[in-house]
Amino acid sequence: MLEARALRKTFARTVALDGVSLRIDAGEIVAITGPSGSGKSTLLHCLAGIIRPEAGEVRLDGDRIDTLGETERTDLRRRSFGVVFQFGQLVPELTAAENVALPLLFDRHGRQESLRSARSLLDRLGVADCADQRPAELSGGQTQRIAVARALVTGPRVLFADEPTGALDSLAGERVMDALVRAARADGTTVMIVTHDNRVAAFADREIALRDGTVTAGVTA
Ligand code: ADP
């Protein structure tokens, strides 16, 4: 469903990805693990169409996406992908429900309908009681569950999460992962999580390990 073939990406003299190939099936939850600097975030950025590899191919449902132009890749990301980063990156002036509704509002859905969808997703992620609070009033774990809700509200094909629990203590991190995995499985969403934390990787169906920009384990399902 999502496939990378012989990806290569360098930054100046640093080789971040040195021939990475992998395949992620529809509905699969995959953890990309490896030490800091092994190329995990660069791989996520290539697969999510945020950056383009210098060589190799990225395919979604068989179609090349790495060759698309900037505008097409932006459209693809809005249509098919959801992304969660380490610090949630919510809009501070908006309530949790408004933050989650934002991608729908950008897609010109009605305000009431968008807020209804947002509240229902917040409920599924166990943070319904935060709906009317602003980010400054929320814990790190609540913030990340709201960021997951915002990434899922458009019903993406793939959810990409880059160290989604990296700023949390282990209990809060496990709660975020539990909520993320349940929500993704309920919709059959494919998930790719970048993490250096074994407890996070344990929530995945499969682990793909990177070292120095190459896959060292886990390419076969
Ligand atoms: P990880 O996510 O596993 O920590 P990264 O993909 O962030 O690894 O980085 C892989 C290598 O590429 C590292 O050596 C890092 O310093 C380098 N790198 C990543 N992004 C950039 C960038 N924008 N500019 C320069 N070097 C980068």
CA 103 – ligand 1 centroid, Å = 28
E-assigned strand segments in the chain: 2-11, 14-24, 29-33, 55-60, 63-64, 81-84, 158-162, 190-194, 206-211, 214-217
Beta bridge partners of 31: 193, 207
pLDDT at 71 (0 to 100): 92
CB of 29 within 8 A of CB of 177?
Answer: no
CA 210 – ligand 1 centroid, Å = 13
Tens-place pLDDT, residues 144-169: 999 999 999 999 999 999 999 988 88
The average confidence (pLDDT) of the chain is 92
Closest CA to 161 of 150, 170, 171: 150
pLDDT at 66 (0 to 100): 92
pLDDT at 170 (0 to 100): 87
204-212 average pLDDT score:
94
Nearest ligand 1 atom, CA 36: 4
CA 178 – ligand 1 centroid, Å = 28
Tens-place pLDDT, residues 113-124: 999 999 999 998
Nearest ligand 1 atom, CA 39: 6
**Domains present along the chain, CATH in parentheses:** 2-220 (3.40.50.300)
pLDDT band at 221 (very low <50, low <70, confident <90, very high): very low
Tens-place pLDDT, residues 68-104: 999 999 999 988 999 998 877 899 999 999 999 999 9
**Distance of alpha carbon 94 from alpha carbon 117, whole angstroms:** 16
Percent of the chain with pLDDT over 70: 99
Give, using CA atoms, the residue closest to atom 6 of ligand 1. Answer: 39
Q: Has this prediction a pTM greater than 0.85?
A: yes
